[in-house]
Structure 1
Amino acid sequence: MIIVKEEILKEINYDCPFCNKEHNIQVKKKISKAKIKDKLVEYEQIVYYCVEEDEDFVPSKIMDENLLKARDAYRASMGLLTSEEIKNIREIYGLTQKEFSHLLGWGDVTIGRYEKKLIQDETYDSVMRMIQTNPAYTLEMLKKHKEKFDSNRFEQIKENIKKVIKSQGNTIFKIQEIKNAYIEYDVESDFNGYKLIDIDKINAVIGYFAQYIKPLYKVKLMKLLWYTDALYFKRKGRSMTGLVYKHLPMGAVPIAYNELLYLPAVKVVEEFFDDFIAYKIYPNEEVNLSMFTLEEISVLDEIASYFKNFNTKEIVNYMHNEVAYLKTEIDQIIPYSLAKQLKNLE
């Protein structure tokens, strides 16, 4: 394990294993690196520090939490659901860990293990994502494994799923429309920033900006998405979301931009003015920072901080002076390679 950065969170009175007595112990957060399945990942871990002995130690419970954070960092880097995301999926339908396993036709403790320590393979991950994005499929799976539930519980879960179908039906339809709009970009290229479209990441990015930038309107959000992808591409050689952007009069705009506003992280409210309608973006759920790597959070923070006080006209005018906009024509796809000439955000 490699320590990258650390900070003191608080001090507590604790029975120190080095001094064999209770005294003040510093609780620190360290940004560390660890190798998981031959891949080096960065993650946050909590350690306790004895000032008297100048030594770190980690209580067993905290150690388990640290290991889970490292594994989740690996999962996020590999595009797999994190333990928290798996938990959120089953909670949407009001399922226990055992019930979620039964619904999927898996062993009793499979989901429990995924939420606590084990890393799922891509096949199991894709099945859980189907449950996440397609409640109609969830209902099919429940009926398929009906024998694993008593009759009362089966009916309760079925009603839970039906409620989700009613509440998310339009969202599911719009997500499919987004995927259809990107069918021509199913190969990594300069147009998608060498990354296939990632709906979950887009949802998280939109949710992030909705939570931290207020007020936030539709046009400004589209520019924030482009700047996020462009800056990340400039630094890492690939986009963060896989969105493809067109050169339009109001600046860079992602394909299927209207459909993006139906993603579950946000809600949109129409505001009527004398001669136009504005679309104001509000957060619909708490942003899940575990969706992001540390590099991604750094880019999001930088974009949010720089453009926070820009109004729509200002950010549009700013984007109009980017090389990526000046070197492309109306309705032309903006290649990510032009993001290498992105203006410095200073």
Structure 2
Amino acid sequence: MAGRRRTFCMECRKETAYALHKTPITKTIREKEYQFLITTAHCKECGCEVGVKGILDYNAKEIDEQFRKAEGIISTDEIEKLGKIYSLGKAPLSMALGFGEVTIARYLAGQIPSKEYSDTMRAALSDTKVMRELLESNRDKLADAAYKKAVSAIKELDALFSVPSKMLMVISYIFEQLGEVTPLALQKILYFVQGLYFSKYEIPLFDDNCQAWVHGPVYAEIYDMFSSFRYDPIDDPRFELLKGKSTNLNEKEREVIDLVVNTFGMYGGKVLEKITHRENPWIDAREGYSENEPSQEEISKEAIKDYFVSVRTKYDLNTETGIMDYIHNMLASA
């Protein structure tokens, strides 16, 4: 539908340019009426709706996505991730979940699951304990090789997500808000979340300690979790398990994370690294080390607290404007 955006207009009787618009439609599905917004093409000369190659398929996808969202039904992408993270093919995954052998294949082909089956898949996608229970309940339906692969995948996932629950909640919320983030940027955002929470409430948001590495403050367990992505954005179906974990954060915690995401989160990891290199907690912990010398020296929570409480006396860290003033001044002196 992109390209040069020209098509034949039946009203003008010639090829014309067209524009895309969102059009509301009413559709009845399973005896229930729904309102959807679909993409339609309109001639730029007469304004009439025109046909465009591929638009009907695109509309079907739009309706499917909006219907699933309205009814809380799992998407085909999420079902695909479910199979990938537990190392199960379509038929073994169906059997492991207690469904018919071809059920998952049908869902991946576009059939919409019932709410009950959708909830089962969503629960398995968000919690390895649920998947383990389903595996054991349906053990006799699975080939031994498939069962062992799934159990092995669960063990790897449990090891991967063995960090404290509050840290996982914070990371989950950061992912939700930013959508895309590199490991380097994530480390610095976690550090600034801790710092701003200290500046506001003078207590830590999470108990984890960070270290003064060459490239700034680093939470070692989080580094291990995402190290395979290096400088690339974090993208792995296994991290679907983080979704929803942020629901237990309270309003104060979300407010601070939002402040950080809307300010520090606008910058890439290398820029955030420069800021941390101008701050006392990292500088003091690195004392005696050369510029590129590895270090595992801990940056104490007390040091982070003292620094950001002192920053609060000069900048309004309760507002995005005050935080941006701090960022700009730190970068100007870098």
Q: Name the TM-score, length of structure 2 as normaliser.
A: 0.51
1:135–1:256 Cα change, 3 Å:
same
Contact 2:194/2:206 (CA < 8 Å) preserved in 1?
A: no
1:98–1:47 Cα change, 3 Å:
farther
The equivalent position to 1:86 in structure 2, one of 53, 74, 79, is: 79
Question: Is 2:135 the counterpart of 1:142?
Answer: yes
- Match in the other structure for 1:285: 235
Contact 1:135/1:165 (CA < 8 Å) preserved in 2?
A: yes
Contact 1:271/1:277 (CA < 8 Å) preserved in 2?
A: yes
Contact 1:101/1:108 (CA < 8 Å) preserved in 2?
A: yes
Q: How does 1:96-135 map to 2 (within 5 A)?
A: 96-107=89-100, 111=104, 112-113=106-107, 116=110, 118=112, 121=115, 124-135=117-128
- Match in the other structure for 2:181: 210
Distance in structure 2 (CA, Å) of the matches to 1:164 and 1:115: 25
1:32–1:22 Cα change, 3 Å:
same
1:92–1:130 Cα change, 3 Å:
same
Q: Name the TM-score, length of structure 1 as normaliser.
A: 0.50
Max Rg structure = 2
Contact 2:90/2:102 (CA < 8 Å) preserved in 1?
A: yes
- Match in the other structure for 1:64: 60
- Deviation, 1:66, is 1.1
Distance in structure 2 (CA, Å) of the matches to 1:217 and 1:134: 23
Distance in structure 1 (CA, Å) of the matches to 2:260 and 2:65: 21
- Match in the other structure for 2:206: 255
1:158–1:286 Cα change, 3 Å:
closer
1:23–1:156 Cα change, 3 Å:
farther
1:218–1:285 Cα change, 3 Å:
same
Question: Is 2:149 the counterpart of 1:171?
Answer: no
- Deviation, 1:278, is 3.7
The equivalent position to 2:151 in structure 1, one of 159, 162, 174, is: 162
1:103–1:300 Cα change, 3 Å:
farther
AA aligned opposite 1:118: I
- Deviation, 1:62, is 1.7
Distance in structure 2 (CA, Å) of the matches to 1:224 and 1:32: 41
Contact 1:101/1:109 (CA < 8 Å) preserved in 2?
A: yes
Contact 2:96/2:135 (CA < 8 Å) preserved in 1?
A: yes
Contact 2:20/2:41 (CA < 8 Å) preserved in 1?
A: yes
AA aligned opposite 2:149: N
Structure 2 gaps of 5+ residues are 245-257, 280-306, 325-334
Contact 1:10/1:27 (CA < 8 Å) preserved in 2?
A: no
1:249–1:198 Cα change, 3 Å:
closer
- Deviation, 1:63, is 1.8
Secondary structure at 2:181's aligned position in 1? Answer: helix
- Match in the other structure for 1:333: none
- Deviation, 1:103, is 1.9
Question: Is 2:210 the counterpart of 1:221?
Answer: no
Distance in structure 2 (CA, Å) of the matches to 1:127 and 1:171: 23
Distance in structure 2 (CA, Å) of the matches to 1:86 and 1:137: 15
AA aligned opposite 2:175: A
- Match in the other structure for 1:239: none
1:161–1:19 Cα change, 3 Å:
farther
Distance in structure 2 (CA, Å) of the matches to 1:252 and 1:34: 52
Secondary structure at 1:71's aligned position in 2? Answer: helix
1:167–1:286 Cα change, 3 Å:
closer
1:204–1:51 Cα change, 3 Å:
same
Q: Among the aligned pairs, what percent are the same residue?
A: 13
- Deviation, 1:84, is 1.9
- Deviation, 1:64, is 1.2
Distance in structure 1 (CA, Å) of the matches to 2:25 and 2:208: 37
Secondary structure at 2:185's aligned position in 1? Answer: coil
Deviations 1:16-55 (A, max 9, x none): 58469995765747597989988988x7x54444445533
- Match in the other structure for 1:54: 47
Contact 1:223/1:252 (CA < 8 Å) preserved in 2?
A: no
AA aligned opposite 1:164: A
Contact 2:95/2:138 (CA < 8 Å) preserved in 1?
A: yes
- Deviation, 1:299, is 9.5
- Deviation, 1:225, is 8.9
